[in-house]
């Protein structure tokens, strides 16, 4: 099966020592492409470098093709300034950058003041509109403010992906009404916290569903054997696929086919 991991934080320091091996394991697991998440000034540059190197080596089938996003996570919203905005606008012109973000609101940790989160979120939506790129969105415990902002901008956005969805079925319905795509992670494999995502997975139309690891976070609890370091990586995407397929009453092959086609369409990836 051909899979696309639409969200992996491969700029995380835990991947520095075995980066190539991580990619080789992902390819062996059937992952053909990975969209590597940019979330701050430094990681934006790093993930673009990964994607450019991958493009230069595109004839190799030993590793997945890498693409990048460019944005500022709400945790870092206090860092937003004109220089960063200008740099993200420039990065958005690179062919390897397939979405703006990760951007949005996070009231769970509140690592940046909420007014600054909202300002940075709006600014990045405007950059995405100007660049005609989809947005890669983050929302946690901030649905009311998030959906209010997104409703204003969604008609002008090329596309929108609500990444790492862990919220309620009602929140999912709100996003589907705005023609958003929904990314499901290994959270669905967690019987303690993620069992409600079985219902969510069933309600998402096949053409709106995407899958991701959010590596190195959210290691699927169904994974056997579990890695000793507890680090998630793109090679474990099939565990997410299996859980989603079971929830939807579909075969893994069906979910793989639809989610891969969706990822290629949303992010304008080559076949």
Taking the chain (271 residues) in runs of 10, the rounded mean pLDDT of each run is 96 97 98 98 98 83 94 98 98 98 97 98 98 98 98 98 98 98 98 96 98 98 93 98 98 98 97 77
| pLDDT for residue 60 | 60
Level-2 CATH architecture, domain 3-266: Alpha-Beta Barrel (3.20)
Q: Cα(30)–Cα(49) distance, rounded to whole angstroms? A: 23
φ, ψ of residue 217 in degrees (nearest 5): -90, 170
| pLDDT for residue 245 | 98
- The pTM of this model reads 0.97
| pLDDT for residue 271 | 77
* Residue 18: closest CA among 211, 235, 239: 235
Q: What is the pLDDT of residues 238-251, one digit of tens each?
A: 999 999 999 999 99
In the sheet where 181-184 sits, what is the strand order?
3-8, 31-36, 65-70, 97-106, 135-140, 160-162, 181-184, 209-211
Q: Give all strands (DSSP E) within 87-159, no chain letters.
A: 97-106, 135-140
Domain residues of the chain, as ranges?
A: 3-266
Q: Cα(189)–Cα(173) distance, rounded to whole angstroms? A: 21
Q: What is the pLDDT of residues 121-171, one digit of tens each?
A: 999 999 999 999 999 999 999 999 999 999 999 999 999 999 999 999 999
Q: Cα(246)–Cα(225) distance, rounded to whole angstroms? A: 20
* Residue 162: closest CA among 145, 186, 140: 140
| pLDDT for residue 206 | 98
């Amino acid at each position: 099966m051909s899979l696309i991991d639409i969200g992996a934080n491969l700029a995380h320091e835990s991947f520095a020592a075995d980066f190539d091996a991580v990619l080789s394991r992902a390819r062996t697991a059937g992952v053909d492409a990975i969209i590597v998440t940019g979330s701050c000034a430094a990681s934006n540059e790093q993930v673009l470098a990964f994607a450019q190197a991958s493009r230069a080596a595109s004839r190799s089938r030993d590793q997945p093709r890498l693409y990048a996003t460019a944005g500022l996570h709400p945790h870092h919203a206090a860092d937003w300034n004109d220089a960063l905005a200008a740099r993200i606008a420039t990065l958005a012109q690179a062919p390897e950058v397939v979405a703006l973000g990760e951007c949005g609101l996070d009231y769970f940790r509140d690592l940046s003041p909420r007014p600054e989160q909202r300002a940075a979120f709006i600014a990045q939506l405007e950059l995405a509109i100007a660049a005609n790129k989809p947005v890669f969105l983050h929302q946690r415990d901030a649905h009311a403010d998030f959906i209010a902002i997104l409703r204003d901008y969604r008609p002008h956005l090329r596309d929108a992906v609500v990444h790492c969805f862990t919220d309620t079925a009602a929140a999912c319905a709100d996003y589907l009404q705005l023609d958003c795509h929904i990314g499901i992670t290994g959270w669905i494999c967690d019987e303690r916290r993620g069992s409600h995502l079985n219902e969510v997975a069933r309600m998402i139309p096949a053409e709106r569903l995407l899958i991701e690891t959010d590596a190195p976070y959210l290691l699927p609890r169904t994974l056997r054997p579990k890695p000793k370091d507890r680090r998630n990586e793109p090679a474990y995407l099939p565990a997410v696929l299996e859980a989603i397929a079971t929830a939807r009453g579909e075969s893994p092959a069906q979910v793989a086919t639809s989610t891969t086609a969706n990822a290629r369409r949303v992010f304008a990836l080559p076949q």
